[in-house]
Amino acid sequence: MELSPNKLTTLERYKILTGLVFPRPIALVSTRSENGVANCAPYSWFNAICEDPPLVIVSFGARKDSKLKHSLINILRTEEFVVNLVDEDIANSMHISSEEVPETVSEFEIAGFSEAPCTVVKHPRIAEAPVSFECKLYKRVEVGHMRDIILGEVVHVHARDGLIDPTTKRVSEDDYWPVGRLYGTRYCTTRQRFNLPGELPE
Ligand SMILES: Cc1cc2nc3c(=O)[nH]c(=O)nc-3n(C[C@H](O)[C@H](O)[C@H](O)COP(=O)(O)O)c2cc1C
């Protein structure tokens, strides 16, 4: 089969890209709105893309009413945000937190998340997350009429005790069970891991 993206509808392109490029990691972005409400939502057009400086990338579409997503509004207003990573324990709550609710409603409450304070940024992080990256806005790229690509610089990392070896900084695989997004409402675990020949970096 051959496909020309310019002959596909936007929805068809979305289906092809998200249906083929998987699993995608999930950024559970947390911010606080102007009126003080703790906001969070999952974003799986997401990845860590660079270590010097340490950058993550998140891609925002529009809400159903064509307005900007609340997370993006809060990022643009404060130039800060938090990326919480998602493991099996919080997968269900993460999914629930994707509901489009009015700005006055906190997804923390809907999903049963607790707020924990950040060290550098003003937004709350999710206490139940295995890892949270405090981020400063590095660059915004507006794409088309419905997409905003946000690059965030990780300025502080919170990791659950025991997850990262304090000396080697290696992550303990046995204590870390992130989930990935397949497409739509489909997810995967990272339980089937395997080795190929070669050495791990120091
Ligand atoms: C697993 C998952 C991944 C998602 N990824 C994205 C994404 O990458 N970009 C996006 O714009 N919306 C994404 N969404 C939809 C948003 O989470 C949803 O629109 C949410 O209500 C936005 O909340 P906010 O307006 O509070 O930011 C995703 C939803 C789920 C369940």
Residues with CB under 6 A from ligand 1: 26, 39, 41-45, 59-61, 63, 69-71, 95, 98-100, 181
Residues 6+ away with beta carbon under 8 Å from 149: 57, 58, 59, 60, 140, 141, 142, 143
- Residue 113: the pLDDT is 98
CA distance linking residue 3 with residue 40, whole number of Å? 36
Nearest CA to ligand 1 atom 20: 98
Tell how far the Cα of 123 is from the centroid of ligand 1, in angstroms: 18
C-alpha of residue 163 to centroid of ligand 1, in Å: 27
What the chain holds in terms of domains, given with CATH numbers, is: 23-188 (2.30.110.10)
Is residue 74 a contact partner of residue 39, using CB atoms and an 8 Å limit?
Answer: yes
Q: Is the pTM of this model over 0.95?
A: yes
Ligand 1: atom nearest CA of 70 is 25
* Residues 187 and 31: beta-carbon distance below 8 Å: no
Per-residue confidence (pLDDT) for residue 95, from 0 to 100: 98
Give residue 34's pLDDT.
Answer: 95
Q: How far is the CA of 104 from the centre of ligand 1 (A)?
A: 17
pLDDT at 159: 98
- Is residue 160 classed exposed, middle or buried when 0-12, 13-18 and 19+ CB atoms within 10 A define those classes? middle
Å from CA of 147 to ligand 1 middle:
12
Q: So what's the pLDDT on residue 151?
A: 98
How far apart are the C-alpha atoms of 92 and 85, rounded to whole Å? 13
Q: Per-block average pLDDT, block size 10, for the chain (202 residues)?
A: 96 95 97 97 98 98 93 98 98 98 96 98 98 98 92 98 96 97 96 91 74
Closest C-alpha among 44, 47, 29, 25 to residue 134: 29
What are the tokens at 171? Answer: 């992550």
